[in-house]
Structure formats: C-alpha cells, structure tokens
C-alpha cells in the first residue's frame, strides 16, 4: 500500500497539518462528519506520540477499498526508542511521560483496525484503519 499523503512530524504545527490532511483524504471517501472528527483525533494522538517520544517521524495516509467498501489507513512511523512493553502501553492510564495514558488505547477504540509494532531500539509503527459506514 503506497501512501497517498505523507506528512513529516517535527513540530506541533505538523500535527495540525497531518490532522487536516487526514480529514481531507477521509472527506473524499464520504465519511460522516463525526467519523472525520474521530479520524482527526486518532491522527492527532499518534502524531503527538511521535513528537513526544521519538522527536520526529511520519504520518502516512492511504485510501483503502475492500469488497466495495472504502476506508482510510493511517500509519504513524518513527525511529525513536521504541516501546519496551507494548501490551502495557495499550492499557488505559499507563504513561511514561506523566500524561493521562489515554492516547494509544483511545486510538485503538476509535479506529476499526489497530496494529502496533515496536521494541526497544527499533522505533514504532502504528497502523490503524477506519472504514466508511455502509
């Protein structure tokens, strides 16, 4: 899957740009306004994690089609320190930065599909998908 859009994340303004670009891509797929908000929120969360934990990375946005159904894929990729315990990082309230610890668990709940690949020293790749309602 070749990304349709790629947004480099190095500053807070890049988070806004990624969120806005995700909304634009999703709007072309006729997502509802509430789903556009959900998608933008998920992008904000994963982009914020890139900036907070890795310093920089990329958000890749792609349109999907499966059996006549359209969706959007969001891939957040960084070369940061990685996550020592992915399972723990997906628990509500767990945070290594003093935040509320709702970011990754929230993204997992907001999106239809969610995958994370990470280990110490390898960076992190979060892939999530949202499918337009029929």
pLDDT in tens, 74-107: 999 999 999 888 888 787 665 555 454 457 888 9
pLDDT score for 3: 65
Residues in the chain, how many? 134
**Which residues, listed in sequence order, are joined to residue 63 by a DSSP beta bridge?**
72
128 pLDDT band (50/70/90 cuts)?
A: very high
- Cα distance between residue 95 and residue 77, in whole Å: 19
pLDDT score for 28: 93
Q: In the chain, what are the domains? A: 5-131 (3.30.565.10)
pLDDT score for 100: 41
- Cα distance between residue 133 and residue 130, in whole Å: 9
CB 100 within 8 A of CB 93: yes
Share of the chain above pLDDT 70, in %: 89
- In this prediction, residues 36-60 reach a mean pLDDT of 95
Quick check: 110 pLDDT over 50? yes
**Which residues, listed in sequence order, are joined to residue 113 by a DSSP beta bridge?**
129
């Amino acid at each position: 899957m070749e990304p349709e859009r790629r947004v480099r994340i190095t500053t807070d303004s890049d988070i806004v740009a990624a969120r806005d670009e995700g909304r634009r891509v999703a709007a072309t797929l006729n997502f509802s306004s509430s789903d556009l908000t959900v998608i933008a929120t998920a992008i904000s969360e994963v982009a914020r994690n890139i900036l907070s934990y890795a310093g920089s990375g990329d958000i890749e946005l792609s349109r999907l089609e499966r059996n006549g159904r359209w969706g959007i894929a969001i891939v957040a990729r960084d070369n940061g320190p990685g996550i020592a315990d992915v399972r723990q990082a997906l628990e509500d309230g767990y945070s290594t930065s003093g935040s509320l610890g709702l970011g990754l668990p929230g993204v997992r709940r907001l999106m239809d599909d969610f995958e994370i690949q990470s280990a110490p020293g390898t960076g992190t790749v979060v892939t999530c998908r949202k499918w337009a309602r029929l």
